[in-house]
Amino acid sequence: MFQITDVPRILPEILLLVLALLVLGSDIFERWANNDAARLERVRASAQLTAIGLGLIFVIALVQSGYVYKLPDTVPVNFLTNILRNLQSGGPGQAPIIGAFATDDLTMISRLVFIGAAFLTSLLCLDDYPSSNPAEFYALIIFSTLGMCLMAGATELVMIFLGVEMTSIPLYILAGYFSSEARSSESGMKYLLFGAMSSAILLYGMSLVYGFAANAVGGNGVANDLTQLSRIAALSKQGGPLLTLSMILIIAGIGYKVAVVPFHGWSPDVYQGAPTPVTAFISTASKAAGFIVLFRLLTVAFPRLSGSAILDANLGGWTSLLALLALLTLIVGNLAALPQTNAKRLLAYSSIAQAGFILLGLIAWAAPQAFDRNQGTASLLYYLVVYTLTNVGGFGALSAIKLAVGGDDVSDLNGLARRNLPLAVLFAFCVLSLAGVPPLAGFFAKFYVFMVAWQSGAWWLVIIALFTTIVSLYYYLRMLKAMFITAPSNESPVAVPAGIMSALGISVAGLVILGLFPNLVLGILSRVQTVAGM
């Protein structure tokens, strides 16, 4: 049953919904003049409201989770401590709400990642995007964030489906937002077609799981929701080909959303054609949400089918399937990035390759020792956090360049260091972190997933991943060469809006701090050892 005390547990989701409606309403009910100054004012009003609101919700979610400061039981009771205590009563670690939405550590951490990514995205489009009806644009970003939060906490198939769609449909619209531009409308259309098809495949898998569970109970009246993940796990003792088939269909469906090879076909086109801040959002938050859902689904509903990725032992189960996908993703993603001339497309292929590294962390879950499993979870989450910061920074820099120079080819980066040194340096930090160069967080994230995957027995995959990392240096360094060595076509300085600069600054600061002191977050991430519903 849903109780009134459950409200603080879903407070961030409620606040996101309120903020989205507020952004829409504040634009509709204001009487705007019809000139350029008013139009810019209109964009700024919506953008600032969104940025401030998302920042506040981030802080509230952070306080609620109790990761920074947990109110001790002994403090005297007054107005402020009461508010804080009520807020933190929705903190991690209770049974899922009506069996459908868990507020465990995994949800709390993913919420912070998604809301943080949305905040940085709203900073990226603080000044120039979008052209007309700006409130829709920002409200759609918030709705999509809300969907991601629901995805992260869903412990039921219906809820997972609704979360996925609530995330995806706003993103389709955002990708095709500039409907008069050929590229934007094309990318929105492609995203929609592939996304809808992947949803259908995902749903077919889910319907088979439901049928399997209904069959296992045999209609003998156990009053339980057969779409709940823990229920499926309890019934899955019999196993059988039907459950395996549905698991493969579900992995294929979510594999589309997170763009792993061979389901990656849409992502370079969509990433290249969508408005750059939207690309930043799609490539980070939506991909992270997909991985969180995949993690919760596979570990909670299908733990018996996990199998292993150790070569000579028992290959089989989802671990082997994911290992195969990771292998393909690493090789194809990194090799296809080599000849790219468009910087956005290059980063798109790089983010496909990054998905392969993230899969390594998932594979480690099937390790025989519990210690390795927990390490696998922590490394997966650490990689997701770092990847989010890096790619928001990378695409953010590209959106600044697009605004100033008018293009997003690698040749548009030429001589950026001479035209705007701070931007070039911040962008270089992001690129180096993607490549995995030591002092930055990207290095530690890669090192961590490699170590965990090696310990869990997938050493052959780690060796291949190391090779592809070396290959990837080529295309990352090509961007650095364009920025720092090649002569620019003209020497005029590049102006960068303050919003983009601050978003870049935040993400690069995060990369440096997390790279030098990974223990700051590893302690929090390693709390995700038991996932609700198991």
Partner 1 sequence: MTRAIPLEAVLAVAAALFCIGLFGALSRRNLVGVLMGIELMLNSVNINLVAFWRYLEPRFITGPSFAIFIITVAAAEAAVGLAMIIAIYRTWNTVNIDSVDSLKG
Interacting residues toward partner 1 by CB under 8 A: 157-158, 161-162, 165, 169, 172-173, 176, 179-183, 185-190, 192-193, 196-197, 199-201, 203-204, 206-208, 210-211, 214-215, 217-219, 221, 223, 225-227, 268-269, 272-273, 340-342, 345
Token pair belonging to 430: 């992001």
Task: Give whichever of 190 and 419 is closer to partner 1, judged by the CB atom.
Answer: 190
386-397 burial, b at 16+ Cβ within 10 Å, e below that, comes to bbbbbbbbbbbb
Nearer to partner 1, 71 or 217 (CB): 217
**Nearer Cβ to partner 1, position 52 or 196?**
196
Query: Considering only CA atoms, which of 289, 452, 469, 472 is closest in space to residue 379?
Result: 452
Closest CA to 138 of 288, 286, 281, 287: 281
Closer CB to partner 1, residue 48 or residue 215? 215
Q: Closest approach of Cβ 341 to partner 1, in Å?
A: 8
The sign of the dihedral angle between the CA atoms of 172, 175, 176, 177 is: positive
Max distance between CA atoms of the chain, in angstroms, equals 77
Nearest residue to 176 via CA among 148, 144, 137: 137
Compute the least distance from the CB of residue 78 to partner 1, in Å. Answer: 45
Contact assessment for residue 309 and residue 240, using Cβ atoms and an 8 Å cutoff: no
Amino acid in the structure at residue 139: A
Distance CA 451, CA 105 (A): 23
Residue 476, judged by CB atoms within 10 A of its CB (0-12, 13-18, 19+), counts as buried
- In 3D space, the residue among 185, 128, 123, 173 whose CA is nearest the CA of residue 147 turns out to be 173
Asked whether the beta carbons of 170 and 144 are under 8 A apart, the reply is: yes
Q: Which amino acid is at 178?
A: F
To partner 1, the closest distance from the beta carbon of 531 in angstroms equals: 22
Query: Nearest distance from residue 109's CB to partner 1, in Å?
Result: 27
The two structure tokens encoding residue 268:
């370079």
- The CA distances from residue 149 to 10, 167, 198, 356, 522, in Å, are 10, 9, 20, 23, 21
The candidate with the shortest Cα–Cα distance to 350, out of 259, 215, 413, is 259
Q: Considering the complex, what minimum distance in angstroms separates the CB of residue 300 from partner 1? A: 18
Residue 328, H or E segment: helix 317-337
Smaller CB distance to partner 1: residue 188 or 361? 188
- State how far Cα 253 lies from the chain centre: 16
Radius of gyration for the alpha carbons in the chain, expressed in angstroms and rounded: 23
Structure-block tokens of residue 176: 């095709």
Side-chain half-sphere CA neighbours of 138 within 13 A: 39
With respect to partner 1, which residue has the nearer C-beta, 226 or 524? 226
Whichever of 208 and 335 has its CB closer to partner 1, that residue is: 208
Q: How far is the CB of 148 from partner 1 (least distance, A)?
A: 16
Cβ of residue 171: shortest distance to partner 1, in angstroms? 10
Beta carbon of residue 143, minimum distance to partner 1 (angstroms, whole number): 12
Residue nearer to partner 1 on the CB measure, 112 or 139: 139
Closest separation between CB of residue 192 and partner 1, Å? Answer: 5
**Shortest distance, CB of residue 324 to partner 1, whole angstroms?**
22
Alpha-helical regions (H) of 128-240: 134-153, 157-175, 182-217, 229-235
In this complex, which beta carbon is closest to partner 1, that of residue 173 or of residue 440? 173
Q: What is the DSSP string of 492-520?
A: PPPP--HHHHHHHHHHHHHHHHHHH-THH
Residue 217 or residue 328: which is nearer to partner 1 going by CB?
A: 217
| Shortest CB 172 distance to partner 1, Å | 6
Output the smallest distance, CB 185 to partner 1, in A.
Answer: 5
Q: Which of 204, 484 has the CB closer to partner 1?
A: 204
Least distance in Å: CB of 406 to partner 1?
Answer: 17
Count, residues in the chain: 534
CA distances for 73 relative to 84, 191, 524, angstroms: 12, 50, 21
Residue whose CB is less far from partner 1, 215 or 455: 215
396, two tokens: 């953010």
Q: Are 166 and 139 in contact (CB under 8 A)?
A: no
Nearer to partner 1, 72 or 218 (CB): 218
